[in-house]
Amino acid sequence: MVTILIIVIVIAVLAVFAIQNAEPVTISFLFWKFGASLAVVTLLSVLAGVVIAIVLIFAAYIKRSVQKSE
pLDDT of residue 20: 86
* Pairing, β 24-29 against β 32-37: antiparallel
pLDDT for residue 37 is more than 90? no
pLDDT for residue 16 is more than 90? no
Mean local confidence (pLDDT), 63-70: 81
Quote the DSSP letter at residue 24: E
pTM of the predicted protein model: 0.62
Q: What's the structural domain count of the chain? A: 1
pLDDT for residue 56 is more than 90? yes
CB 24 within 8 A of CB 36: yes
pLDDT of residue 17: 80
Which domain, by its residues, includes 55? Answer: 2-69
Quote the DSSP letter at residue 23: S
pLDDT of residue 51: 94
CA distance 56 to 51: 9
